[in-house]
Amino acid sequence: MSTIDPITLSVLAGRMEQIADEMDATLFRAAFNPIIAEAHDASHGLYHATSGDTLVQGKSGLPIFVGVMSFAVKAVIEKAAKDGDLQDGDIYIFNDAHIGGTHLSDMRLVRPYFRDGALFCYLASVGHWHDVGGAVPGNYNPAATDVFQEAFNLPPVKLARAGTINQDIVDILLRNTRLPQSAMGDLNGQLSALDLGVKRMDELLDEYGGETITAALEALGHRAEALMRAELTELPDGRWEAEDYLDNDGITDSPLKIKIALEIKGDEMVLDFTGSAPQCAGPVNIALPTTVATAYVAIKHVFPALPANAGVMRPIDVIVPEGSLLAAQFPAPTGGYTETILRMIDVVFSAFAQAAPERVVANAYGTINALSIAGKRANGQPWVMFSFYGGGHGGSIETDGLNHGNAPISTATIPPMEILEAAYPVMFRTWALRPDSAGAGTHRGGLGAVYEIEVLEENGAEAFLFGERGRFAPKGIAGGGMAALNAFQYEQDDGWHSPPLASKMRGITLKAGQAVRLETPGGGGYGAPGARSPDAIARDVARGLVSAAEADEAYGPEWREKTA
């Protein structure tokens, strides 16, 4: 193996990141469904030819996919080894969440990249398809008790053999969706992104040669590991614990514990999730690949300078108890994985806050509030408006939390109201910040949001909600206060109603003119509320972010005298 100088390594790291970024951009521009095109719920990367480890990932894709796509590529490597027929131009496709992580809505395409007749690496694309069958349009079924009630389940199969698309696989995919045109558009977008990746890799290797690129990829892994170890040595040795809860599993109204013990010793760290709730009946289970990937995402938040490379995880041991909802076995439902991994990130932050509070922020709002509204138009065509919704982020040592941000598991964006109203027969009566939703603190949390969505289609619609934080509010750290709870209501002939399970419900029938209303949590506060600047409190009150009564309750009425 040849060595590589630091300057060339830096240049090549940038070039390979650009390849993944360009693949991201290709899909975002080509996708038919707004979850990919507008929200950027997708990702692309380069993966090791034999281990499947993440080598490079695009900066615009979802961080959670860094780890889980490594498991997806490993599954393809095992499949190809078993079948013994891997060829240049092959493309594998699957959505099996127990193999590839996350949930069945995320369609994964994996393509081997060959150079001079030999396998060099893998390219992969993952995107959240709008609908892949199942009992609930949009696939977030809060009442699912197995994966078969969530969506069509596809194991790793060859979509293309030696460059020729297998139309039978395409036909199966399109027959198992309510929105075949959207699925076909997203599939073509992912195929185009992979084609572009191959072209750009050809150009890179033509310029630098395979030996130099191979050396660079190995060096990047070593560098990522060294950076992680250096970061850990700056922290105190010790063991810290934290726990939090999910509202319920959508089936039984009982809380589910997520627990962590974080231990740092020298340049190594252990994240031990022993004590977390057992596998449950409902769809808040997650598979082991998702748990490991979530640990990476949490670490990346705490150490933001680290690269998107598998080397980061070499000094970190992630312990996940067998039989827990964090290591769910097939066919356990996993559709609501987003809610569980958000709680995992919360407990990692809460544990880290005891070791180095300056490195973390308070809990964010903690739920994507996956809301699906679906029906049929007058001409019989089905429509499915699936989207996720924002809330407040936690305060930090430097500043107040972000108002109305997206969940910290991603770099995705919330689809604009104008896009949703143009695409679907709905009208947003309200899209606004939610006053008094932020946790108090020296630096308060960010504000959540209020969304009220009216159905316009004369045929009416059905709504389905998969959310969290309806029973357990986002926590503050370093003495900061908790944020507001999540609140959901739906309109019926006799007025407004709330779900019995607080944050989850399916089959809500809506007539034209009726609406659903989401009031999302804010973020937790950072630091003692008594240390907040009276001027900052007065400014929040003047802007309508915090009511005077809430300010008196959270900070004490003395703030008035100090700003008089």
Each residue's pLDDT tens digit, 60-74: 877 788 778 999 999
- Please name every residue paired with 54 in a beta bridge, in sequence order, or none if there are none: 47
Average pLDDT over residues 342-349: 96
Specify the pLDDT at position 412. Answer: 67
pLDDT band with cut points at 50, 70 and 90 for residue 2? low
Measured between alpha carbons, how far is 347 from 43 in angstroms, rounded to an integer?
A: 26
Average pLDDT over residues 469-478: 97
pTM score: 0.92
What's the alpha-carbon Rg for the chain, to the nearest Å? 24
Specify the pLDDT at position 468. Answer: 97
Measured between alpha carbons, how far is 70 from 35 in angstroms, rounded to an integer?
A: 22
Specify the pLDDT at position 16. Answer: 93
Q: The tokens of 296 are what?
A: 């990476």
pLDDT band with cut points at 50, 70 and 90 for residue 529? very high
Percent of the chain exceeding pLDDT 90 equals 83
Comparing CA positions, the residue from 293, 287, 292, 291 lying closest to residue 330 is 287
Tens-digit pLDDT profile for residues 19-55: 999 999 999 999 998 889 888 889 999 999 999 988 8
Residue 1, pLDDT above cutoff 50: no
215 CB-near residues (< 8 Å, 6+ apart): 1, 2, 3, 4
Residue 350, pLDDT above cutoff 90: yes
Tens-digit pLDDT profile for residues 424-465: 999 999 999 999 999 999 999 999 999 999 999 999 999 999
Q: The tokens of 361 are what?
A: 């922020």
- Please name every residue paired with 47 in a beta bridge, in sequence order, or none if there are none: 54, 122
Q: How far is CA 429 from the centre of its chain?
A: 27
Residue 45: DSSP 8-state: E
Q: The tokens of 367 are what?
A: 């739920």
Specify the pLDDT at position 561. Answer: 81
Cis peptide before 331 (omega within 30 of 0): yes
Tens-digit pLDDT profile for residues 184-229: 999 999 999 999 999 999 999 999 999 999 999 999 999 999 999 9
Task: Please provide the average confidence, as pLDDT, over all residues in the chain.
Answer: 93
Give me the sign of the Cα torsion angle 501, 503, 507, 511: positive
Tens-digit pLDDT profile for residues 143-160: 889 999 999 999 999 999
Specify the pLDDT at position 74. Answer: 95
Supply the angle between the helices 180-208 and 167-175 in degrees, to the nearest 10.
Answer: 140
Please compute, for residue 147, the number of CA atoms within 13 A of its CA located in the half-sphere on the CB side.
24
Please compute, for residue 104, the number of CA atoms within 13 A of its CA located in the half-sphere on the CB side.
33
pLDDT band with cut points at 50, 70 and 90 for residue 515? very high
Q: The tokens of 376 are what?
A: 């049929």
